[in-house]
Amino acid sequence: MGAVTSEVETQARRLLGATLTRGDVTVRITEVEAYGGTGDPASHAFRGPTPRSAIMFGPPDVLYVYLSYGMHYCANVVVGSDGDASAVLVRAGEVVRGIEVARDRRGGVPDERLARGPANLTQALGITIEQNGVPLTGPQVVLRRHEPLPDDAVSAGPRVGVSRAADVPWRFWVSGDPTVSAYRRSPRAADAEPL
């Protein structure tokens, strides 16, 4: 996967501690997963552009939203340059503004679980398929990057729920943060081949 590998990993790590805002709710990102496009068998872009994955091919700083299992939305930040198809799944975060709105949307779960897991995060933020393809400079959704976290504040491990390239350590999270989701290996990953 060459240069895309290191770049998508770098971009994923840089998103930790960034904030994502939609309307009255802001989430500080605490967990992400990197997907390296056509060189990554776990990526939606692995087989090239499709109507679903075309957004992953650029430009960067656009939101890629898809429906998972026909019922949950997942949000990704497109990070590659035009044609590179790299994206980072935003897996979890801490609600730092608009907590009452997020609580209403999430139905009474503890605060540390408001945006724990990609579907819960989009629900807390009010992100749906309607935000697919919107620029992350606003007005619908705003991403604000901050200084990268030091290496010793970040943990890495395999991605959650993928059946291909399942052991690639491209899941990154803020070490010890209570909003980070639990690791669950896909039951279909037992025979998965590494990259």
Q: pLDDT tens track of the chain, all 195 residues?
A: 444 447 899 999 999 999 999 999 999 999 999 998 888 888 888 888 888 889 999 899 999 999 987 789 999 999 988 888 899 999 999 999 999 999 999 998 999 999 999 999 999 999 999 999 999 999 999 999 999 999 999 999 999 988 888 888 999 999 999 999 988 777 777 554 555
What top-level class would CATH report for the domain 2-181?
A: alpha beta
On whether the CB atoms of residues 11 and 169 are closer than 8 A, the answer is: no
Selection from 139, 141, 183, 134 nearest residue 33 by Cα: 183
Reduced to 3 states (helix: H, G, I; strand: E, B; else coil), residue 112 is helix
Q: What is the pLDDT of residue 190?
A: 57
CA-to-CA distance for 174 and 177, rounded, in angstroms?
A: 6
Q: For the chain, give every domain's residue range.
A: 2-181
Q: What is the pLDDT of residue 2?
A: 44
